[in-house]
Amino acid sequence: MENRSRINDLLQGALDNLLQEDFKRFKDKLSHSDFERKGTIPRGQLENADRTDMKNLLMEFYGGDTAVNVTIEVFTQINLRDSAAKLREEREKGKKLKVTVKPGSLPQGSSNSSSKRRNSHCYEKNREHEIIRASSVITMGTLFKPDKDGQTPQIVVLVGAAGIGKTITSKKIMLDWAAGELYKEMFDYVFYINCREMNLLTKEVSVADMILKHCPNNKTSINHILGQSDKLLFIIDGFDELRFSFDQSEDNLCSEPWEKKPVEIILSSLFRKSVLPESYLLITTRPAALEKLGRCERYAEILGFSEADRKEYFHKFFGNEKQARQAFRFVRENEILFTMCFVPIMCWIICTVLKQQLEKDEDLAQASKTTTGMYVLYLSSLVNPPGSNSKPCKKASLRGLCSLAADGIWKQKILFEEEEIKMLGLDQADALPLFLNENIFQKDIDTECLYSFIHLSFQEFFAALFYVLEEDERMENSGTPKKDVKTLLENYGNSRNYLMLTVRFLYGLLNEKSIKDMEEKFGCKISPKIKLDLIKWIQTYKQTVLSVPSVYDKIICQLEDFRCLYEIQDENFMKNALEPFTKIVLRGNNFTPMDQIVLSFCVNNCHRLVSLEMYACTFRFEDHRTFLFSLSRDQHQDELKHSRVFLLCQALKDPNCKLKKLWLNYCNITHVSCKDLAAVLKTSQRLIELDVGTNGLQEAGVQLLCEALKHPNCRLQRLG
Ligand SMILES: Nc1ncnc2c1ncn2[C@@H]1O[C@H](COP(=O)(O)OP(=O)(O)OP(=O)(O)O)[C@@H](O)[C@H]1O
């Protein structure tokens, strides 16, 4: 029998860590299910229970030990797998409660209204959980720091790749603010607006409605809130997920917070400051939607995990010292895998796969080089966990998931209704808890249950899978138009942004190993014909739209194209697809270390390529220490100290590299990178022109290059 006071603490901790909406779902599940054949706790008692009441109810009704079992069971049933695992783990760990952040766990909220310090939608700081990157949270405090001229930006855009942690960061900002640790003086009210929920609003709303939605019992103070708009912060999370157009004319915008308009006009009015002009906005978005957002005063990029963070993450994930060390050592020695881990969601996926391989005593070397490959391995680990008796995910469920995902991507829809889930047979135990999350929303006085994929990137993955499956493998639901890959590519070509990751996964799924894995692990046949469609599309589309044949040679100029080609990892495909291209020109890109690996791969596999020109690009190096990376002009120079072309230089030293001309202008190349470039000059048999004009090389840098010029192997004819 476990000690009662410890169980008390365990349960309290577990419930305190739930988000308000999850706590609501917890109560709802409890009121409908008969656990341990004890009947149900009366609804009346559950309804108004706060977390402490709930803990007491559970302990009284089920008794100490069983209360923990029931809680774990409910967490599992409502899809809070991490919370269930954590509670199970803590119970087993014995008396010592260790603070462990499990990957996938989000900052948690509190339902206890008395504990809320300022407004009803603020999150209480979680006492036990800290986001892994807590040490660098300090830089979140400078997001709204005045610039050199003393101007405080009113709109800050937090940009970052899929799964880099934008949502986590937004919620962490809420938590820290609510705990009085961040922006204490600056903001009195902070509102978290989730863009995928905004897509659901069909009725006209006002800014005041949006505020009221977050503090429904607070009607009397709305005027007070609106009256001090310079103390308001709106966090608008997931701008890229909005399916509206923001091309509104000035006359359309609203100027009064009570004015009711369609949601796209309300949001446009906030972005363009025609309403509550003194309020502050923090907008998170994937880079692809930046253009749609227009010009803002400050941009900050989330960099992801540094090397030290990755190590810390592994240790927290595995909990077991020996396994963590073994897995980390393996990843550390695999440059590509280790680089992928800078994206937290990839860290989570890689850790999950490795943990399972370790538990099954399998060879760790099965890990993949590409994001798609890792998603395939992750899915297979989900449907077939070690030691589980659960049946593997049925093919029909997988087809249903693909159909749902593709239909959603097409309509820019991330939340799905219960009927859609049922219609596709996804309400079964082999699909629902594994791939879909339940989301409870307040709709007027009722609550509504909607579903989303465990992460948007999984929806994008399944959508891509839909397009590459053999025709007879697909389950086209009658209501939606027949979709083929050509239509997808055409639309991607026209409007890139929201289809970007889906198309990238599409390339990845056509990789030989992915095709084999999908067939072996899921029994899914991928159509080989799609590769031909893809090559044809690249050749015609690129030649007409992206290349400029009359000037110099044929040019390819989108980093995203290389990311796709990297995913397919197919030499023949590359040869065919890149046949016409002799020159790469990239402007204004911000290269992550993974992007350098991607570019290097393509440079070495693009057989007719002779020239690589980069202008105003930045190259982030592994040893960054800052979580956020400001792209505002005022901080640009300082932050770019680490711009380094190390990984690219590694590729240029490869004897396969055909490059003759390399231009790196305005790229913040310093003497540190000159060391890498000098090594290229001493090795490359083909490079005859290097232009590193308009960079801060300093004397030390120039000296390094000059020394390299004297090297007997150096073939350089022009140094700019
Ligand atoms: N700082 C962090 N510590 C631990 N895990 C993290 C952290 N940041 C992100 N993660 C993990 O990565 C997952 C994805 O993070 P998040 O949803 O915040 O990404 P995002 O940038 O909003 O992605 P998207 O643009 O695709 O919506 C989280 O569910 C969590 O598992």
Chain segment 221-259, per-residue pLDDT in tens: 788 888 888 999 999 999 999 988 777 788 889 989 999
> Ligand 1 centre from 161 Cα, in Å?
10
The domain locations on the chain are: 1-98, 113-302, 395-520, 546-719
What pLDDT, on the 0 to 100 scale, is given for residue 572? 86
State the CATH architecture for 1-98: Orthogonal Bundle (1.10)
Nearest CA to ligand 1 atom 12: 345
> Ligand 1 centre from 164 Cα, in Å?
5
What pLDDT, on the 0 to 100 scale, is given for residue 400? 86
Which amino acid, 159? V
Return d(Cα 168, Cα 170) in angstroms, integer.
5
> Which has the closest alpha carbon to 234: 261, 199, 195, 291?
195
Nearest CA to ligand 1 atom 26: 162
Sequence-distant (≥ 6) Cβ neighbours of residue 710 within 8 angstroms: none
- Above pLDDT 90, what percent of the chain? 17
> Ligand 1 centre from 103 Cα, in Å?
9
What pLDDT, on the 0 to 100 scale, is given for residue 217? 61
- Residue 139, SS3 per DSSP: helix
Which DSSP state fits 179? T
> Ligand 1 centre from 633 Cα, in Å?
27
What pLDDT, on the 0 to 100 scale, is given for residue 266? 93
pLDDT tens string 256-305: 999 999 999 999 999 999 999 999 999 999 988 888 887 777 888 887 88
**Residue 436, H or E segment:** strand 436-443
Q: What pTM did the predictor assign?
A: 0.74
Look up the ipTM and state it: 0.98
- Residue 544, SS3 per DSSP: helix
What pLDDT, on the 0 to 100 scale, is given for residue 641? 47
State which of 505-519, 525-539, 604-618 shows the largest mean pLDDT.
Answer: 505-519
Alpha-helical segments (H) within 510-641: 512-522, 529-541, 559-568, 571-578, 593-605, 633-639
Phi, psi of 281, deg, nearest 5: -130, 140
What pLDDT, on the 0 to 100 scale, is given for residue 106? 29
> Which has the closest alpha carbon to 32: 20, 53, 46, 22?
46
Find the range with the poorest average confidence among 480-484, 596-600, 712-716.
480-484
> Ligand 1 centre from 86 Cα, in Å?
18
What pLDDT, on the 0 to 100 scale, is given for residue 625? 41
Dihedral angle sign, alpha carbons of residues 89, 91, 93, 95: positive
The residue with greater pLDDT, 345 or 641, is 345
User: What does the pLDDT average to over 47-73?
Assistant: 88
Sequence-distant (≥ 6) Cβ neighbours of residue 244 within 8 angstroms: 199, 263, 264, 267
Contact in structure between 239 and 293 (CB atoms under 8 Å): yes
What pLDDT, on the 0 to 100 scale, is given for residue 444? 52
Helices 371-383, 512-522: axis angle to 10 degrees equals 10
Q: Are strands 155-159 and 298-302 parallel, antiparallel or unpaired?
A: parallel
Find the range with the poorest average confidence among 91-100, 186-195, 404-413, 622-631.
91-100
What's the gap between Cα 458 and its chain centre?
A: 10
User: What does the pLDDT average to over 15-33?
Assistant: 85
Sequence-distant (≥ 6) Cβ neighbours of residue 122 within 8 angstroms: 116, 174, 177, 178, 190
Ligand 1 neighbours (beta carbon < 6 A): 103-104, 131-133, 160, 162-168, 238, 286, 344-345, 348, 455-457
Contact in structure between 719 and 690 (CB atoms under 8 Å): yes
pLDDT tens string 84-107: 878 887 776 643 222 222 333 322
Whether 613 shows a pLDDT value over 50: the answer reads yes
What pLDDT, on the 0 to 100 scale, is given for residue 507? 93
417 forms beta bridges with: 450
User: What does the pLDDT average to over 44-49?
Assistant: 86
User: What does the pLDDT average to over 619-625?
Assistant: 57
Which amino acid, 720? G
Return d(Cα 303, Cα 133) in angstroms, integer.
11
What pLDDT, on the 0 to 100 scale, is given for residue 166? 92
Sequence-distant (≥ 6) Cβ neighbours of residue 268 within 8 angstroms: 246, 248, 252, 253
Q: Which residue has the tokens 């138009």?
A: 481
pLDDT tens string 539-568: 776 665 444 443 434 566 678 888 998 999
> Ligand 1 centre from 166 Cα, in Å?
6
Q: Work out which ligand 1 atom sits closest to the CA atom of 238.
A: 27
> Ligand 1 centre from 165 Cα, in Å?
3
pLDDT tens string 294-325: 777 788 888 788 888 888 899 999 988 888 99
Pocket test for ligand 1, best of 131, 158, 168 (most atoms within 8 A of CB): 168
Return d(Cα 625, Cα 619) in angstroms, integer.
15
Find the range with the poorest average confidence among 482-491, 571-580, 630-639, 701-710.
630-639
> Which has the closest alpha carbon to 643: 303, 156, 296?
303
- Residue 243, SS3 per DSSP: coil
Q: Work out which ligand 1 atom sits closest to the CA atom of 164.
A: 21
User: What does the pLDDT average to over 437-457?
Assistant: 74
580 — pLDDT class (breaks 50, 70, 90): confident
Return d(Cα 309, Cα 305) in angstroms, integer.
5
Torsion angle of C-alpha atoms 443, 448, 454, 457, degrees rounded to 10: -50
**Which pair of structure tokens corresponds to residue 664?**
């790196």
User: What does the pLDDT average to over 665-681?
Assistant: 85
State which of 365-374, 503-512, 637-646 shows the largest mean pLDDT.
Answer: 503-512
The residue with greater pLDDT, 446 or 72, is 72
Find the range with the poorest average confidence among 431-445, 594-608, 624-638.
624-638
The residue with greater pLDDT, 413 or 638, is 413
**Which pair of structure tokens corresponds to residue 20?**
């308000």
Backbone angle region of 133, left / alpha / beta, with phi > 0 → left and psi within -120 to 50 → alpha: alpha
278 to 152, 568, 662: CA distances (angstroms): 11, 48, 47
Centre a 10 Å sphere on the Cβ of residue 118 and count the other Cβ atoms it contains: 16
CATH number of 546-719: 3.80.10.10
Nearest CA to ligand 1 atom 23: 163
What pLDDT, on the 0 to 100 scale, is given for residue 124? 26
- Above pLDDT 70, what percent of the chain? 80
Pocket test for ligand 1, best of 22, 138, 167 (most atoms within 8 A of CB): 167
**Maximum Cα interatomic distance, the chain, rounded to a whole number of Å:** 86
Q: Which strands make up the sheet holding 628-630, listed edge to edge? A: 189-194, 232-237, 280-285, 155-159, 298-302, 628-630
Which DSSP state fits 526? B
Whether 441 shows a pLDDT value over 70: the answer reads no
CATH number of 113-302: 3.40.50
Whether 111 shows a pLDDT value over 50: the answer reads no
637 — pLDDT class (breaks 50, 70, 90): very low
> Ligand 1 centre from 628 Cα, in Å?
14
Q: Are strands 280-285 and 155-159 parallel, antiparallel or unpaired?
A: parallel
**Which pair of structure tokens corresponds to residue 179?**
């705990």
